[in-house]
A and B are shown apart, each in its own frame.
Chain A
Amino acid sequence: MLLIECPNCGPRDETEFHYGGQAHVPYPDDPYALSDREWAEYLFYRGNPKGLFAERWNHSVGCRKWFNAIRDTASYEFTAVYRMGEPAPDISELTVSPAQHPEGGSR
Chain B
Amino acid sequence: MSAFRVPQGGRGINRSREITFSVDGESYRGFAGDTVASALLAAGRIACGDSLYLGRPRGVMTAGVEEPNALLRVQPRFTGDISESMLPATTVDITEGLEASTLSGLGVLDPQSDQVRYEHKHLHADVLVIGAGPAGVAAAREAAKGGARTILMDERSVPGGSLLGSSGEQIDGLDALDWVNASIERLAGSEEFTYLPRTTAMGSYDSNFVTAVEDRTQALIAAADGGAAPAGQPRQRIWHVRAKRLLLATGAHERPIVFANNDRPGIMLAGAVRHYLHRYGVAAGSHAVVATTNDSAYALVDELHAAGIQIAAVVDSRVEASAQAQVTLDRTGVRGIFGAAIGDTSGGADGALSAVTVVRLDASGLPVDTEHGATGCETIGADLLAVSGGFSPVVQLHTQRQGRVVWSDEIAGFRPVAPVAEQAVVGAGNGDYSLASALRGGAEAGHQAAHATGYAAPLIVPEASGKATQAARCARSGSCRVRAERLVNGVSTSSTCNATRPSLMSTALPVRG
Asked whether B371 is an interface residue with its Cβ less than 8 Å from the other chain, the reply is no
Closest-by-CB residue of A relative to B207 is A3
The 8 Å CB contact of A102, one of B206, B207, B242, B404, is B404
Asked whether B21 is an interface residue with its Cβ less than 8 Å from the other chain, the reply is no
In contact, B402 and A107 (Cβ under 8 angstroms): yes
Given A97-B421, A99-B421, A100-B421, decide whether A2 and B207 contact each other with a Cβ distance below 8 A.
yes
What CA separation (Å) do A78 and B421 show in the bound complex?
A: 13
Asked whether A1 is an interface residue with its Cβ less than 8 Å from the other chain, the reply is yes
The 8 Å CB contact of A76, one of B206, B403, B418, is B206
Most A-side CB within 10 Å, residue of B402, B418, B420:
B402
Most B-side CB within 10 Å, residue of A2, A14, A97, A99:
A99
Asked whether A49 is an interface residue with its Cβ less than 8 Å from the other chain, the reply is no
A99 cross-chain contacts in B, Cβ below 8 A: 418-421
Asked whether B179 is an interface residue with its Cβ less than 8 Å from the other chain, the reply is no
Asked whether B259 is an interface residue with its Cβ less than 8 Å from the other chain, the reply is no
Asked whether A104 is an interface residue with its Cβ less than 8 Å from the other chain, the reply is yes
CB distance from A35 to the nearest CB of B (A): 42
User: Would you give the 0/1 interface string for B406-435, flagging 1 where the beta carbon is closer than 8 Å to chain A?
Assistant: 000000000001111100000000000000
User: Would you give the 0/1 interface string for A77-107, flagging 1 where the beta carbon is closer than 8 Å to chain B?
Assistant: 1000000000000000000010110111111
In contact, B205 and A102 (Cβ under 8 angstroms): no
Given A97-B421, A99-B421, A100-B421, decide whether A1 and B403 contact each other with a Cβ distance below 8 A.
no
CB distance from A5 to the nearest CB of B (A): 10
User: Would you give the 0/1 interface string for B248-286, flagging 1 where the beta carbon is closer than 8 Å to chain A?
Assistant: 000000000000000000000000000000000000000
Closest-by-CB residue of A relative to B419 is A99
In contact, B206 and A1 (Cβ under 8 angstroms): yes
B417 cross-chain contacts in A, Cβ below 8 A: 102
Asked whether B209 is an interface residue with its Cβ less than 8 Å from the other chain, the reply is yes
What CA separation (Å) do A67 and B420 show in the bound complex?
A: 28
What CA separation (Å) do A77 and B242 show in the bound complex?
A: 16
What CA separation (Å) do A62 and B340 show in the bound complex?
A: 67
Most A-side CB within 10 Å, residue of B205, B206, B403, B420:
B206
Closest-by-CB residue of A relative to B422 is A99
What CA separation (Å) do A3 and B404 show in the bound complex?
A: 23
In contact, A102 and B402 (Cβ under 8 angstroms): yes
What CA separation (Å) do A13 and B418 show in the bound complex?
A: 27
What CA separation (Å) do A102 and B403 show in the bound complex?
A: 7
The 8 Å CB contact of A104, one of B242, B404, B419, is B404
In contact, A2 and B404 (Cβ under 8 angstroms): no
In contact, B207 and A1 (Cβ under 8 angstroms): yes
What CA separation (Å) do A2 and B401 show in the bound complex?
A: 12
What CA separation (Å) do A77 and B207 show in the bound complex?
A: 8
A76 cross-chain contacts in B, Cβ below 8 A: 206
| A window 1-31: CB within 8 A of B | 1-3, 13-14
CB distance from A29 to the nearest CB of B (A): 39
CB distance from A16 to the nearest CB of B (A): 13
What CA separation (Å) do A79 and B348 show in the bound complex?
A: 66
Closest-by-CB residue of B relative to A4 is B207
B403 cross-chain contacts in A, Cβ below 8 A: 102
A2 cross-chain contacts in B, Cβ below 8 A: 206-207
The 8 Å CB contact of A1, one of B205, B402, B420, B421, is B205
A106 cross-chain contacts in B, Cβ below 8 A: 402
What CA separation (Å) do A80 and B254 show in the bound complex?
A: 44
A13 cross-chain contacts in B, Cβ below 8 A: 242
B207 cross-chain contacts in A, Cβ below 8 A: 1-3
What CA separation (Å) do A46 and B192 show in the bound complex?
A: 47
CB distance from A4 to the nearest CB of B (A): 9
User: Would you give the 0/1 interface string for B387-404, flagging 1 where the beta carbon is closer than 8 Å to chain A?
Assistant: 000000000000000111
What CA separation (Å) do A103 and B418 show in the bound complex?
A: 11
CB distance from B242 to the nearest CB of A (A): 6
Closest-by-CB residue of A relative to B423 is A99
- 17 more contacts with CB within 8 A, not counting A1-B206, A99-B421, A102-B402, are A1-B207, A2-B207, A3-B206, A3-B207, A3-B242, A13-B242, A14-B206, A77-B421, A99-B418, A99-B419, A102-B403, A102-B404, A102-B418, A105-B402, A105-B404, A106-B402, A107-B402
A interface list, Cβ under 8 A from B: 1-3, 13-14, 76-77, 97, 99-100, 102-107
Q: List 14 A-B contacts (CB under 8 A).
A: A1-B205, A1-B207, A2-B206, A13-B242, A14-B206, A76-B206, A77-B421, A99-B418, A99-B420, A99-B421, A102-B402, A102-B417, A104-B404, A105-B402
**Nearest 5 A/B pairs, CB to CB:** A3-B207, A99-B421, A105-B402, A1-B209, A2-B206
